[in-house]
Amino acid sequence: MPATVLISEVGPRDGLQSVARTLPLAHKLAWVTALHAAGLREIEVGSFVPAARLPQLADTAAVVDHARTLPGLTVVALVPNLQGARAAIAAGVHKLTVPVSASAAHSLANVRKTREQMVDELRRIAALRADLAPQVGLEVGLSTAFGCTLQGLVPEDEVIALAEQVVAAGADEVGLSDTTGMADPAQVRRLFRRLQAAVGRHAGAAHLHNTRGLGLANCLAAFDVGVTSFDSSQAGLGGCPYAPGASGNVVTEDLVFLFERMGVHTGVDLHRLVAARAVLQRGLPGEPLHGMVPEAGLPPGFVYADGRQPDADPLRAATAGLA
Q: Is 57 exposed, middle or buried (0-12, 13-18, 19+ CB in 10 A)?
A: buried
Helix (H, G, I), strand (E, B) or coil at 75: strand
Longest Cα–Cα distance of the chain, Å, equals 54
280 CB-near residues (< 8 Å, 6+ apart): 11, 23, 27, 31, 234, 235, 237, 287, 289
Q: How far apart are CA 312 and CA 322, in angstroms?
A: 20
Q: How far apart are CA 316 and CA 311, in angstroms?
A: 12
181 CB-near residues (< 8 Å, 6+ apart): 209, 210, 211, 212, 214, 215, 245, 246, 247, 248
Please name which of 207, 227, 99 lies closest in space to residue 107, comparing C-alpha atoms.
99
7 CB-near residues (< 8 Å, 6+ apart): 40, 42, 230, 232, 252, 255, 256, 259, 266, 267, 268
Catalytic residues: 240
Q: Do 278 and 31 touch, CB atoms closer than 8 A? A: no
Cα dihedral value 13, 208, 6, 26, nearest 10: 20
| Kind plus residue range of the DSSP H or E element containing 96 | strand 95-101
Which amino acid appears at position 66 of this protein?
A: H
Please name which of 317, 287, 220 lies closest in space to residue 56, comparing C-alpha atoms.
287
